[in-house]
Amino acid sequence: MPYLTSASEIRAIVAEYTNAKTLWIDTEVADYKSRNPRLSLIQVLDNPQDMSGDRVYLLDVLDQPTIIAEFVDQIMINSAIEKVFHNASYDLKFLGSKKAKNITCTLEMAKKIPYYLLPLPNYQLKTIATALCSFNNIDKQEQKSDWGKRPLTEEQIEYAYLDCIYLAQIHLNLLGLQAQASPEPATEDLISLSTRYSELEQQWKSLNSEFEHLQERMKKAMQAQNISETSNYKLTSYERTTVKAAFTELAKLAQTQGINLDFPITLTQKLQKDLGKNLEQLSVDIDKNTSWRLISKTQESEAEDE
């Protein structure tokens, strides 16, 4: 886990990284709760098979805006290099923002994996690394330590390089789950899919019915007993306000006051019927979408017999 502090050392390793295909990157930020957070460290791993930390470089960029800018120009904007982060939207605030290209976010990857394949209470790096990669006793305490103070402690340095190792392993495992969740449709086994779908359909109907019923009973019971929360759930309410006006009045107001209300209106089937042939006098845009439904043949045959 080489810890680089001099500008020349950092520039040298960044130059090497320009030839990489994929980089696993993390950051540590000083004063992250303030209005002026400062990028403290950039941690970079270029070999996901490295579990020792030898290929994790810690780049100390605290108060070195020129070095940060060079990293952005040579690495972050380089579309030929895939940059993998866990929570990319946060890290990119300090590393190029919208200019950054070819970014992979493991947080977003994890969210897109169906829950039954990745049943997690949350998508924090610690949670995913423990569940998916069998890392144990992950200590995130140093995350909130003072990253603006120098020298960094041994605990901070160890924490910083381990995060890159966790990140790379999470990424590799998520790629496997991604492939499992999205197989090639043309080669799917429809018989096994149909069998499993049919099994789950019956279970889902029963569970969903009970779930909705219990939900309504709980809401009514909590309201009747004037209880806002239990050990597991909280009852909240919200008001939805809808403002309506007669179309003729709105049109008249727009004309008299010179208000520009030139926007498209969706013509429902009823409106089209009411307009009749007058519809031909309007210049309309027609959008057509195809929706697919999966219908059980059993239900279809039962409907035909009625």
Structural domains of the chain ordered from first start: 3-181 (3.30.420.10)
pLDDT in tens, the chain (306 residues): 799 999 999 999 999 999 999 999 999 999 999 999 999 999 999 999 999 899 999 999 999 999 999 999 999 999 999 999 999 999 999 999 999 999 999 999 999 999 999 999 999 999 999 999 999 888 888 888 999 999 999 999 999 999 999 999 999 999 999 999 999 999 999 999 999 999 999 999 999 999 999 999 999 999 999 999 999 999 999 999 999 999 899 999 999 999 998 888 899 999 999 999 999 999 999 999 999 999 888 766 655 566
For residues 52 and 2, give the distance between their C-alpha atoms in angstroms, rounded to a whole number: 12
Residue 306: its pLDDT value, please?
A: 60
Residue 114: its pLDDT value, please?
A: 97
Looking up tokens 């320009």 gives: 18
Residue 300: its pLDDT value, please?
A: 61
Residue 297: its pLDDT value, please?
A: 82
Residue 1: its pLDDT value, please?
A: 77
Residue 224: its pLDDT value, please?
A: 97
Residue 304: its pLDDT value, please?
A: 59
Residue 4: its pLDDT value, please?
A: 97
Residue 245: its pLDDT value, please?
A: 94
Residue 171: its pLDDT value, please?
A: 98
Residue 59: its pLDDT value, please?
A: 98
Residue 144: its pLDDT value, please?
A: 85
**266: Cβ–Cβ under 8 A, 6 or more apart, which residues?**
none
**In the Cβ-directed half-sphere of 16, how many Cα atoms lie within 13 Å?**
11
Identify the DSSP state of 242.
-
Residue 128: its pLDDT value, please?
A: 97
**234: Cβ–Cβ under 8 A, 6 or more apart, which residues?**
228
For residues 237 and 19, give the distance between their C-alpha atoms in angstroms, rounded to a whole number: 55
Residue 301: its pLDDT value, please?
A: 62
Residue 110: its pLDDT value, please?
A: 98
Peptide bond into 37 cis (omega under 30): no
Residue 299: its pLDDT value, please?
A: 64
